[in-house]
Amino acid sequence: MRDSFGRMINYLRISVTDLCNLRCMYCMPQKGICKLKHKNILRIEEIKEIAKTFVALGVNKIRLTGGEPLARRGMISLIKDLANLDGLKDLAITTNGTLLKKFAKDLKNAGLKRVNISLDTLNDDKYSFITRGGKLKDVLEGIQAAKRVGLSPIKINVVLIKGFNEDEIEDFLKFTEDGIDVRFIELMPVGEASNWALERFISNEIVLNKVKDLVKVENINPSSPAVYYRLNNNKGRIGLINPISCKFCNNCNKVRLTSTGSLKLCLHSNREIDLKGHLRKGSNLKNIIIKAIKEKPESHYLEDGTYIEKNMFQIGG
């Protein structure tokens, strides 16, 4: 599928739940959230049906997100069925890692290829602070479990936060010695946490300024938002994702499906299409999706102070 700007849309991010066992400050309110009624979220079979339709239309990459995707019942069954879709080349998951130790082997056996793990600090106390009660050791054990069962590549996503973790950049780079990619992501103003994020934004330029020996490497995927580097010929790469300082909308190839069944054409747009409603009414999903893709906006407008209303957990990380 191509949008009205000629971009090939072949990547679908599916949020399977808005629930999470952590309360990260830039993602979720401290009080948590009201649990949605079952009728308001996509059933596992509905997720499979929508994913199957997207793959039939040319999507070849699917990433499962949340909330915390591993907190959703039926995930192993979902992954097994998605992995068997004819035409799907890449199936991955983004997780906070706290449940990976428990599920890594089952995920691998179900057909999951690779995993991204969100981790913003390597300090126990700071981790508990930013997640409002999480335990760092659970994530570190999850990373080792993922490596042990052969999920590859493993990528660690680090959101840079001014005054919080810029002093840990070099520590994170040690993961690359073990063949693990580390990606630094600029903090984005989203939902209720927009003002909090704006006050703590720091450009990824700080990574280049702190680590002088980084060597830029060719990115084999032109649609990837990351610019990649290597350090000391380590097997793992260092990625910089710069949605604020150097936006990458021109090469955007993705759309998002929320846990409530809404299709989001851009992370930073309030525009949504109710695929769940169309599916339950028996509408022709293919035609609805093809029409929707043509409405994908050319760009986000964060630089103009235009921020979305929903929180990150409601959209999918």
Is 252 marked as a binding-site residue? yes
Residue 233 inside a domain? The answer is yes
Residue 287 inside a domain? The answer is yes
Higher pLDDT, 251 or 289: 289
Q: Which domain holds residue 239?
A: 11-315
CA distances from residue 260 to 42, 71, 305 in whole angstroms, order as listed = 6, 16, 27
Is 24 marked as a binding-site residue? yes
The reported pLDDT for the residue numbered 314 is: 62
Which of these, 28, 25, 115, 7, lies nearest to 70 by C-alpha position?
115
Span 44-57, pLDDT tens digits: 999 999 999 999 99
Residue 1 inside a domain? The answer is no
Half-sphere exposure of 19 (CA within 13 A, CB side): 12
In total, how many domains does the chain have? 1
Q: Is 202 helix (H, G, I), strand (E, B) or coil?
A: coil
Question: Does position 62 have pLDDT exceeding 70, yes or no?
Answer: yes
**Tokens 């084999």 found at:** 220
Alpha carbon distance 176, 198 (integer Å): 29
The reported pLDDT for the residue numbered 267 is: 82
Alpha carbon distance 19, 73 (integer Å): 11
Is 27 marked as a binding-site residue? yes
User: Residue 35: which pLDDT band, with cuts at 50, 70 and 90?
Assistant: confident
User: Residue 27: which pLDDT band, with cuts at 50, 70 and 90?
Assistant: confident
User: Residue 250: which pLDDT band, with cuts at 50, 70 and 90?
Assistant: confident
Alpha carbon distance 238, 181 (integer Å): 6
Strand 226-230 to strand 215-216: parallel, antiparallel, or no bridges (unpaired)? antiparallel
Residue 5 inside a domain? The answer is no
* pTM for this prediction: 0.93
The reported pLDDT for the residue numbered 238 is: 98
| Mean pLDDT taken over the chain | 92
Residue 102 inside a domain? The answer is yes
Is 13 marked as a binding-site residue? yes
Q: Is 12 helix (H, G, I), strand (E, B) or coil?
A: strand
Find out whether 245 and 190 touch, Cβ atoms under 8 Å.
Answer: no
* Structure token pair of residue 239: 């990625």
User: Residue 25: which pLDDT band, with cuts at 50, 70 and 90?
Assistant: confident
User: Residue 221: which pLDDT band, with cuts at 50, 70 and 90?
Assistant: confident
Report how far apart the first and last C-alpha atoms of the chain are (Å, whole number): 23
Question: Does position 305 have pLDDT exceeding 60, yes or no?
Answer: no
User: Residue 310: which pLDDT band, with cuts at 50, 70 and 90?
Assistant: low
Alpha carbon distance 165, 182 (integer Å): 14
Angle between the N-to-C axes of helices 100-110 and 75-83, in degrees from 0 to 180, rounded to the nearest 10? 30
Is 67 marked as a binding-site residue? yes
Flag the least confident range among 92-101, 119-128, 270-279, 299-308: 299-308
Alpha carbon distance 155, 173 (integer Å): 12
Question: Does position 312 have pLDDT exceeding 80, yes or no?
Answer: no
Alpha carbon distance 149, 160 (integer Å): 29
Other beta carbons within 10 angstroms of residue 243's beta carbon come to: 18
* Structure token pair of residue 143: 């990373």
Residue 2 inside a domain? The answer is no
* Structure token pair of residue 97: 């890692």
* Average confidence (pLDDT) over 219-228: 85
User: Residue 37: which pLDDT band, with cuts at 50, 70 and 90?
Assistant: confident
- Residue 89 belongs to a domain with what CATH number? 3.20.20.70
The share of the chain scoring above pLDDT 90, in percent, equals 77
Question: Does position 306 have pLDDT exceeding 60, yes or no?
Answer: no
What type of residue is 114? R
Residue 147 inside a domain? The answer is yes
**Tokens 């760009």 found at:** 299
DSSP-derived secondary structure letter, 13:
E
Residue 223 inside a domain? The answer is yes
Is 255 marked as a binding-site residue? yes
User: Residue 88: which pLDDT band, with cuts at 50, 70 and 90?
Assistant: very high
E-assigned strands of the chain?
11-15, 61-65, 90-95, 114-118, 154-160, 181-186, 215-216, 226-230, 238-241, 254-257, 262-264, 272-274
The reported pLDDT for the residue numbered 313 is: 59
Q: Is 198 helix (H, G, I), strand (E, B) or coil?
A: helix
Span 149-172, pLDDT tens digits: 999 999 999 999 999 999 999 999
Is 188 marked as a binding-site residue? yes
Question: Does position 14 have pLDDT exceeding 70, yes or no?
Answer: yes
Question: Does position 101 have pLDDT exceeding 60, yes or no?
Answer: yes
Span 110-131, pLDDT tens digits: 999 999 999 999 999 999 999 9
Question: Does position 174 have pLDDT exceeding 70, yes or no?
Answer: yes
* Average confidence (pLDDT) over 292-310: 73
